[in-house]
Amino acid sequence: MSTELQKPVIGFSCGDLNGIGLEIIIKALGDSRILDFCTPIVFANNKSINFYRKILPDINFTFTIIKDVTKPNIKQVNVFSCWEEDVTITPGQLNETGGKYAFISLKAAVDALQNKHIHGLVTAPIHKKNIQSDEFNYSGHTPYFKDVFKVDDVVMLLAASNIRVGLLTEHVPVTELASHITSAAILSKLRIMNNSLIKDFGIDKPKIAVLGLNPHAGDEGLIGKEEQTIIKPAIKEAKNNSLLVFGPYSADAFFARGEHEKFDAVLAMYHDQGLIPFKSLAIGEGVNYTAGLPVVRTSPDHGTAFDIAGKGVADASSFVSATFECIEIINRRAFYEENHKNPLRRISARVFANVVDERIIEE
């Protein structure tokens, strides 16, 4: 594996300026040992970073300002200035400023990702309401990345060392859930998860569990029909396509009995069904990964935490995990691609160089 891929350039969007985004970035990148694993570029501006650096005097966070994203300093944390004007930061407040500059940072980071100036991106938390604009009309990062990179589908995949949970639906009101549960949607998510587990997580033959929608997975149709009419047929189709998929399982018993430990990932039907057990079991080190993209994007598994913003107490554990997961997925993908190149293409030049042309008759 090349040195470049062992030490990739990782971008960091700053998230809502009034949330804990820059605090956890400073904490995560304040340990100089991070430079042994990647070259970081933070998409923000120096005044915003200095504002939060003063709140964290015990963190020895140094950085260099760059104007060209293609020329980072590999020996320091880099800050790419996305705006020059002075911005009033009010930690803990939900206002237009926080959302406006969160999107400016995100857009600059995504542009760098699209142009391959960075190898991966870690996104700090945004607030889904105040970031809304003509340019960002999405329920979160995941559908935004799906549209920007023009893919048919993606999976919000939460990952930790002891559990991985994918979501069939993301930020959908509970009253609308049933209309989003279709066999086609389930099959699409399962294919993406299976592919990601192989290429991004290095699992040769992943086993995926599927949860039911209704209590007790419908109790054979007594408490809802979706398991029988939608979920089971999707699982059967997935098996027919050589995927190791099992279920549907009753969500409460599944996690209570530790069944998730028998599988490489779990597909949950809706947000809280997957996120509540995940956050309970991931012990603060969960990572949100967007599976199905041609690029690598991770984030911590929490939000803006306005209630503690600016107090210097935000826990950066999940953000650190997101950073290292981003690095590891980049390297796993490179390893997979190297090992799965066309074998004839790899050996043809060497083999044919030694082949004697039988048409040539020695005299």
Give the tens place of pLDDT for each residue, 45-83.
999 999 999 999 999 999 999 999 999 999 999 999 999
Tokens of 265: 């990932």
Instruction: Report the pLDDT value the prediction gives residue 336, as an integer from 0 to 100.
Output: 93
pLDDT in tens, 300-343: 999 999 999 999 999 999 999 999 999 999 999 999 998 887 66
Q: What is the pLDDT of residue 177?
A: 92
Ranges of residues in the chain with a pLDDT under 70 are: 1-6, 342-363
Q: Give the 3-state DSSP-derived string for the chain, with helices as H, strands as E and coil as C.
A: CCHHHHCCEEEEECCCCCCCHHHHHHHHHCCHHHHHCCEEEEEECHHHHHHHHCCCCCCCCCEEEECCCCCCCCCCEEEEECCCCCCCCCCCCCCHHHHHHHHHHHHHHHHHHHCCCCCEEEECCCCCCCCCCCCCCCCCHHHHHHHHCCCCCCEEEEEECCEEEEECCCCCCHHHHHHHCCHHHHHHHHHHHHHHHHHCCCCCCCEEEEECCCHHHHCCCCCCCHHHHHHHHHHHHHHHCCCEEEEEECHHHHHHCCHHHHCCEEEECCHHHHHHHHHHHCCCCCEEEEECCCCEEEEECCCCCCCCCCCCCCCCHHHHHHHHHHHHHHHHHHHHHHHCCCHHHHHHHHHHHCCCCCCCCCC
CB-based contact 210:246 (threshold 8 Å): yes
Strands 77-81 and 120-123: unpaired
**Quick one: tokens of 251?**
């969500």
pLDDT at 3: 40
Predicted model pTM: 0.90
**Cα 39 to Cα 67: distance, rounded to the nearest angstrom:** 16
Q: What's the one-letter identity of residue 54?
A: K
pLDDT, position 341: 79
